[in-house]
């Protein structure tokens, strides 16, 4: 079984901007620059033969290069159940279209539909039972985050392996946007 997702890598200069915000939150497990990405579709654990089908379907996904901007910060979960903090992605119709095409590719490969509402973001840190006041203070200090626009010319199929400090990711396949 492979744990897979499709995502857009965050360029190094944008990761550097995000890195300046990765501090002052007790217990946060900050994600390294090479792990920062915008998920298009999380596929979960799938058998290798189905992963081959998914790869073939993702290879048929079309789209043009994108211009994205990061905007604002937030958290997933509530109270002591907050489990991650993130940087948001400014609304972008082309990004939503690309995510929809990855969803369609997953369905053609035989995966169940993703029932969650798509909320594009970059996970900055994972949390475990944090003090909600600390999270709120961090969000208040960083809520005006706005990155410079950055271009994305491809998306990737990544594998994920769980680790003590959070998941480790590996690019399995890159798909150009032309």
pTM for this predicted structure: 0.95
Token pair listed for 72: 């604002």
DSSP label at residue 114: P
Backbone φ/ψ region at 80: left (φ over 0), alpha (ψ -120 to 50), beta: alpha
Q: What are phi and psi of 39, to 5 degrees?
A: -70, 135
Domain boundaries, the chain: 2-176
Among 18, 14, 27, smallest CA distance to 87 is for: 18
The CATH superfamily assigned to 2-176 is Cyclic phosphodiesterase (3.90.1140.10)
| CA 176 – CA 148 distance, rounded (Å) | 22
Counting Cα atoms < 13 Å in the Cβ hemisphere of 120 gives 24
Per-residue pLDDT of the chain (178 residues), as tens digits, is: 999 999 999 999 999 999 999 999 999 999 999 999 999 999 999 999 999 999 999 999 999 999 999 999 999 999 999 999 999 999 999 999 999 999 999 999 999 999 999 999 999 999 999 999 999 999 999 999 999 999 999 999 999 998 776 788 999 999 999 9
**Could you tell me the CA-to-CA distances from 70 to 58, 126, 144, 160, 171 in Å, in that order?**
25, 19, 10, 23, 22
């Amino acid at each position: 079984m492979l744990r897979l997702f499709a995502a857009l890598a965050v360029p190094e200069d944008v990761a550097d901007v995000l890195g300046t915000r990765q501090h002052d939150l007790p217990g946060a497990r900050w994600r390294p620059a090479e792990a920062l990405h915008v998920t298009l579709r999380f596929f979960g654990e799938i058998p290798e033969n189905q992963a081959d089908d998914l790869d073939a379907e993702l290879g048929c996904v079309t789209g043009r290069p994108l211009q994205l901007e990061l905007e604002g910060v937030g958290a997933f979960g509530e109270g002591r159940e907050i489990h991650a903090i993130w940087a948001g992605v400014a609304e972008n119709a082309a990004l939503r279209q690309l995510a929809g095409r990855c969803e369609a590719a997953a369905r053609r490969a035989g995966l169940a539909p993703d029932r969650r509402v798509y909320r594009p973001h970059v996970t900055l840190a994972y949390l475990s039972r944090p003090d909600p006041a600390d999270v709120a203070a961090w969000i208040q200090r960083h809520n005006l985050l706005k990155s410079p626009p950055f271009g994305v010319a491809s998306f990737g199929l990544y594998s994920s392996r769980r680790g003590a400090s959070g998941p480790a990711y590996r690019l399995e396949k890159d798909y150009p946007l032309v």
